[in-house]
Chain A
Amino acid sequence: MATLELRGLTKVFGATMAVEAFDLDVGDGELVCLLGPSGSGKSTVLRMIGGFETASSGAVLIDGQDVTRMPPERRPTSMMFQSHALWSHMNVAGNIGFGLKLRRLPRAEIARKVEEALTLVGLAGMGERRTDQLSGGQQQRVALARSLVLEPKILLLDEPFASLDQHLRERLREEVRDLQQRLGITMVFVTHGQDEALALADRIVVMRDGRVQQVDRPDRLYRHPETPFVAGFIGQMNLLQVTVAGGRIAHPAFDLDVTATDGPALLAVRPEALELIAGEGAGRLHRVTDFGSHAVTEIDLPGGERIKAMTPEVPAAPPGTPVTIKPLRAHLYRDDRVIWSSDAMSRTSTRAHAHG
């Protein structure tokens, strides 16, 4: 059983606020992804959990025990680094067994555990290799074995596959997911790739400028983005500046009934949630791209905006054709938070973490 609680975690570097009042509960055996662009503070949060940065304020609790002031060597966490960080002066077995040696385990038991860990990551019998004789993927597997062999309560991963090619990245990602579910280990995974987060995570924390934007399950994050940033960051999204007047958005290209007070707002519509009617309307078809499984149509609106619509069929209309667009599902934002959503579910959703 290993749970992680972060309470008001804050990190200040000089004059910059790297992480601000970060709250998070990670349940036993849960895999949580911290997702955000570079500089969003996600790595800093991870390094504070691992003990490599001291929190300016706030607390880190593992299984209810406060470890905020504990050095990394005494924390029940283990970190996998982006650069694998293997020690080149030791062979593979030496790397994996170093932590066990520090725990003064008998030599035979170290050898047994190292071989077990190597088998676990699919590198059985490679213990005598030098680390520079391994491929990039194998090196990350050794780093993973080095972490797993100590049976940490919480495994921290700092963009571990960022330097690998796409194919290998996807394979290792699945292996990590399998291992995580088999061993029931609690994991915090930092990434800037939304695909990786959506594929791996039980829950995703979207971060920006050191603050939490939204904490949610992957499917909800896509369908119910709570801030305009999340809306634009996860998947593709058309964002339009609109004005609400009398419960209605009167855009030159379409009309939409909404439940919101009057005033300017930001409308977000997914490309697949746009219906196109070619032949008449205020929009002008700019270009159609056929992806085989679907087609993406770009449309110029009278206000100068260009939006994308995704349809299963390729529209049989040449560029310049007038089109009418009709948002089927949409979200409306004002003051950086969602004020209306066409889907009933999101109105009942609770914001896991409010800010601002």
Chain B
Amino acid sequence: MRTSEPFRPDWIGLALVVTLSIVIIGPMLVVGLWAFAEQWRYPSLLPQQWGLRFWHQTLARPDVWTALRTSLQLSFVVTLISAAICLPAAYAFARMKFWGRDMFFLSFLSIQAFPRFGLLITIATIFLSLGLVGTFWGVAIIQLVNTLMFMIWIPTAAFQAIDRKLEEAARDVGAGPIRVFWSVTLPQALPAIVAAIMLTFVGTFYETEGAWLIGAPHVRTMPILMISFINNQLVIQLGAVLSVLLWVPSFIFLLAARRYLGPQGLGRGLGG
């Protein structure tokens, strides 16, 4: 943070930071504490007894490991396919003129604009006849549909925001169209693309509705497993341990993406 003379604290900014911290970090902290608490009774501020008993219990269950593997596989596969389909499409939306372009572009919004559960039920009936219900690929396809909007809209805005003169300047010094794309267009759009990939990965990892409707009972992802834990026996610690486990991919992704994701870069990528 830059300080200026005379020092004047930014009270509104400070208040926002404090409020956001309480609302976001507070619950996470409580869940984090619960995961390592063996006994924690009201009105004590901290658990009376710490321990890893529930971690052992959770990690000893084979269904947790299966679910974690399923979730990771699903997220990787969906992100990969989504990127392979959507990034070229985003480039086309940003740069080419073709018949029905705007209608097609808006149709991706409709996936998010209408109640998704209705859409899912319809798809589920179709999948039932195709034998896709309860299979990994059935869930993967459903998740793919969910990711389309982020993966198309954000990179499209990023490609549109790139000054064409930058590409012309690269052509000018001797780069062919493909080299221009790799050396100028893609690096310029990268912050937004990384953001879109991250949203897709994390969104797929945490998605429950589609995974439950299409995947049950054979394909169980981490969030689905968590729901069944909570439904079957309400042991707070088990839920807390699973929650902490669920944070892992988000943290890894945030750390990996930090390099590309200055607020400036993201803003520019989103056309701000």
Task: Give bound CA distance, A102 to B184, whole Å.
Answer: 13
The answer on a CB contact under 8 Å between B173 and A87 is: no
Task: Give bound CA distance, A73 to B168, whole Å.
Answer: 9
Task: Give bound CA distance, A113 to B173, whole Å.
Answer: 15
Chain B contact residues: over half helix, strand or loop, or mixed?
helix
Determine which of B169, B174, B183, B190 lies in contact with A81 in the assembled complex, contact meaning CB atoms within 8 Å: B169
Task: Give bound CA distance, A51 to B175, whole Å.
Answer: 13
Interface residues of B in 170-223 (CB under 8 A from A): 170-176, 179, 183-184, 187-188, 190
A283 at the interface (CB under 8 A from B): no
Known: A87-B184, A88-B188. A98 touches B173 (CB 8 A): yes
A311 at the interface (CB under 8 A from B): no
Determine which of B172, B175, B176, B188 lies in contact with A78 in the assembled complex, contact meaning CB atoms within 8 Å: B172
The answer on a CB contact under 8 Å between A73 and B166 is: no
* Residues of B contacting A79 in the complex (Cβ-Cβ under 8 angstroms): 168-169, 172
* Residues of B contacting A98 in the complex (Cβ-Cβ under 8 angstroms): 170, 173, 175, 183
* Residues of A contacting B166 in the complex (Cβ-Cβ under 8 angstroms): 85, 87
* Residues of B contacting A86 in the complex (Cβ-Cβ under 8 angstroms): 169
The answer on a CB contact under 8 Å between A72 and B163 is: no
* Residues of A contacting B169 in the complex (Cβ-Cβ under 8 angstroms): 79, 81, 85-87, 143, 146
Determine which of B165, B172, B187 lies in contact with A73 in the assembled complex, contact meaning CB atoms within 8 Å: B172
Task: Give bound CA distance, A143 to B168, whole Å.
Answer: 13
How many residues in A have their beta carbons less than 8 Å from beta carbons of B?
Answer: 25
Task: Give bound CA distance, A72 to B176, whole Å.
Answer: 9
The answer on a CB contact under 8 Å between A150 and B170 is: no
The answer on a CB contact under 8 Å between A102 and B175 is: yes
* Residues of B contacting A122 in the complex (Cβ-Cβ under 8 angstroms): none
* Residues of B contacting A103 in the complex (Cβ-Cβ under 8 angstroms): 174
Task: Give bound CA distance, A79 to B172, whole Å.
Answer: 7
The answer on a CB contact under 8 Å between B184 and A73 is: no
Q: Show 27 residue pairs from A and B whose CB-CB distance is below 8 angstroms, ordered by the A residue.
A: A52-B168, A52-B171, A71-B176, A72-B168, A73-B172, A73-B176, A78-B173, A79-B169, A81-B169, A83-B163, A83-B165, A85-B163, A85-B165, A85-B166, A87-B166, A87-B169, A87-B170, A87-B188, A89-B188, A89-B190, A98-B173, A102-B173, A102-B174, A143-B169, A146-B169, A147-B172, A150-B173
Residues of chain A at the chain B interface (Cβ within 8 Å): 50-52, 71-74, 77-79, 81, 83, 85-89, 98-99, 102-103, 143, 146-147, 150
